[in-house]
Amino acid sequence: MIARIINFFKKREENKGEREERAQEIAERTVPKISDPLYHFICSSNRSLTVAFHNLFTVGAPVYGGSAEWYNAERGRLSERRNQAEALSIPFGGTRAFGPKVEAVSSVSDVLSNLSLAAHGSVYISVVQVGSRGQAWVQEVYTTLLDEAVAQGILPFPMFTTPDKRAALFLIDSFELLSPS
């Protein structure tokens, strides 16, 4: 009996994975790739919260020609990378949203400093890349889940956004991939 139950759940997960793969393939065939990417980094020490973001972004980003990935970073690694970013003077040229408050962020080292402060040992990062057409959708997902999380007693968490590919790739290289798009 237990073996049948385990087998049921394994098949269910396999079917879910196959459905997600098919949806991704359809999106890739029907939606043009983006030419003006924006990189969004939603960061929290709450693992399940970032899983929720990742699941939504994995389904929705392809509609806008984008992709989503989920990462983890340890505080020590973030500090190390912050020092490297500072030495290289890598610009970020983007924003940090903290709830309804949005402010400019000028450097990658500033982003890594913020992430390091948010990490209680480690921080989880949901990264979504979409074009300007998907910007409002990402903002709506962030705001909606932020409001729900705060209502449940979870502390607010930031979203960093940049059009700068070099900055985004430097940040992504600072993290450990947990789940690709």
Q: Which pLDDT score, from 0 to 100, does residue 6 have?
A: 52
Mean pLDDT value across residues 51-56: 88
Each residue's pLDDT tens digit, 129-177: 998 889 999 999 999 988 988 898 888 889 999 999 999 999 999 999 9
Residues contacting residue 124 through CB under 8 Å, at least 6 positions apart: 43, 44, 45, 46, 47, 49, 50, 51, 70, 71, 72, 178
What's the token pair of residue 156?
Answer: 């607010």
Question: Which whole-number Å values give the CA distances from 2 to 5, 13, 24, in the listed order?
Answer: 5, 17, 33
Residue with tokens 């990462």: 71
Give the residue with greater pLDDT, 119 vs 72.
72
| pLDDT value of residue 69 | 94
Question: What pLDDT sits at residue 87?
Answer: 96
Rounded to an integer, the average pLDDT of 78-102 is 93
Structure tokens at 101: 């408050």
| Rounded Cα–Cα distance for residues 103 and 161 (Å) | 11
For residues 64-82, average pLDDT: 92
**pLDDT value for 96:** 96
Rg of the chain on CA atoms, in Å: 17
